[in-house]
Amino acid sequence: MSEATDPWLIVGLGNPGPEYAANRHNVGFMVADLLAERIGGKFKRAQKAQAQVVEGRIGSPGPANRRVILAKPMSYMNLSGGPVTALRDFYKVPTDHIVAIHDELDIDYGMLRLKLGGGDNGHNGLKSMTKSMGSDYHRIRFGIGRPPGRMQVADFVLKDFSSTERKELGYLVDRAADSVECLLAEGLERAQSQYNS
């Protein structure tokens, strides 16, 4: 059972490299970047894993203040499990204190769903994480909707958000970051009731 003092590992899923930075598949990186900004940290290369990390604290001073490691795996999405497991072991983070932030095709654009455990729903980043360490970690699922017409899923997720989507993207990423803070401070049920749509 996790203790209140155990650190949290918050993982934004995405692909490394500037050509992927604005892709739908990289919304996890976007949320992680905003959380790093909020705690006043800059991502640095991790010592023990193929990832970039920021260490800090989230939450107001007192019992709800949590030690966090924000991480962006620098492997490709389908190999995320290796870096996340290495970080989990290095920082001694219980699996139920890991949060994966990722894009989700089966939810309308901008909708959020928070949950603990479950399947990977065909998401390669989750598939890799679950294969490496089991499925008992939290997920913050950021809806990107389904591809239009006959567009292949792989093409859709590796495209940038549309100009219409970008108008709201800043607000939605902000809301996803808020949901992480709420999850850590107040627990899953409270965060679900406030942010699940």
Backbone CA torsion sign across 174, 19, 79, 72: negative
Q: How far apart are CA 27 and CA 97, in angstroms?
A: 21
Residue 97 annotated among the catalytic residues of the structure: no
Active-site residue (options: 25, 102, 123, 138): 25
What region, left, alpha or beta, does residue 66 occupy, with left being phi > 0 and alpha being psi -120 to 50 degrees? beta
Burial class (CB in 10 A: 0-12, 13-18, 19+), 47: exposed
Cβ(104)–Cβ(120) under 8 Å?
no
Cβ(57)–Cβ(65) under 8 Å?
yes
Which residues are known to be catalytic? Answer: 25
